[in-house]
Amino acid sequence: MFGLNPQQSFEFLEHAVLIQICVGENEIVFHFDKEIVLAVESDLRIATSSLDRRFTSSVEAAREALELLGSEVSAVQAHTDGTLTIAFGQTKALELYDSSPYHESYRVRWPEGSVVV
Please provide residue 13's backbone torsions phi and psi, each rounded to the nearest 5 degrees: -75, -25
pLDDT of residue 14: 97
How does pLDDT run across 58-93, given as a tens digit for each residue? 999 999 999 999 999 999 999 999 999 999 999 999
Query: What residues pair up with 84 in beta bridges, in sequence order?
Result: 78, 96
Q: Give the Cα separation of 44 and 49 in Å (integer).
A: 17
pLDDT band at 40 (very low <50, low <70, confident <90, very high): very high
Burial of 62 (0-12, 13-18, 19+ CB in 10 A): middle
d(CA 25, CA 73): 26
Q: Would the pLDDT of 101 be above 90? A: no
pLDDT at residue number 3: 84
pLDDT band at 100 (very low <50, low <70, confident <90, very high): confident
